[in-house]
A = this chain, B = another copy of it.
């Protein structure tokens, strides 16, 4: 199946990666088409031909972000032996991922469009859906730990998952405010120091 017509003059995935960087640094609204096309090295008709719209481009950039920056954080959650190891890993990897650019950027999922009734509610809802998914993922991992006997019956998995998700979200703001990697790792340590009392039987 050879391509008909004139071949595309740029690499789609490279352009997508550059768009992701712009959205990550500037958020959805503040990333103008001029900035995006400049970073991607193309003109706007090429952008629209390849991606459809600014919103569709963002959706793809978000998926790309999850696949690249996010996978190192969340993928090991199921494979690590204990829920404690899993959550400690999430916080540790978060501290590293949120400070992997200079200046630090925090999490694109948390910061790219924080106004649910802003200019593009569907994007805010999609990001919210994703954050909720991460929280639920932690809760599911905790429930499994209860089933496996790592944690006692009666453990409040919902509250613990919500707590650690909250810490993870807060680290995005700290990163944007210039917190160093060491400070964020310190936050992760502090959060993990609650583990024993959170999972102690009543």
- Which A residues have a C-beta under 8 Å from some C-beta of B? 25-27, 29-30, 103, 110-111, 114-119, 128, 131-132, 156, 158-160, 162-163, 165-174, 176-179, 183, 186-187, 189-191, 193-194, 196-198
Contact = CB atoms under 8 A, between A and B. Distances in A.
A193 B194 contact: yes
Q: Copies per complex?
A: 2
Contacts of A171: 166, 170
B173 A169 contact: yes
A25 B170 contact: no
A197 B196 contact: yes
A-side binding surface: helix, strand, loop or mixed? Answer: helix
A136 B170 CA distance: 16
B159 A189 contact: yes
Contacts of A170: 165-171, 173
Contact of A167 (B114, B159, B167, B176): B167
A94 B174 CA distance: 17
Contacts of A163: 186-187, 190-191
Contact of A166 (B116, B173, B194): B173
15 contacts: A26-B115, A27-B114, A29-B118, A29-B119, A103-B116, A114-B173, A131-B173, A158-B186, A159-B183, A159-B190, A162-B187, A169-B174, A193-B194, A194-B197, A197-B197
A30 B169 contact: no
Given A128-B176, A166-B187, 4 more contacts: A30-B119, A159-B187, A170-B171, A194-B197
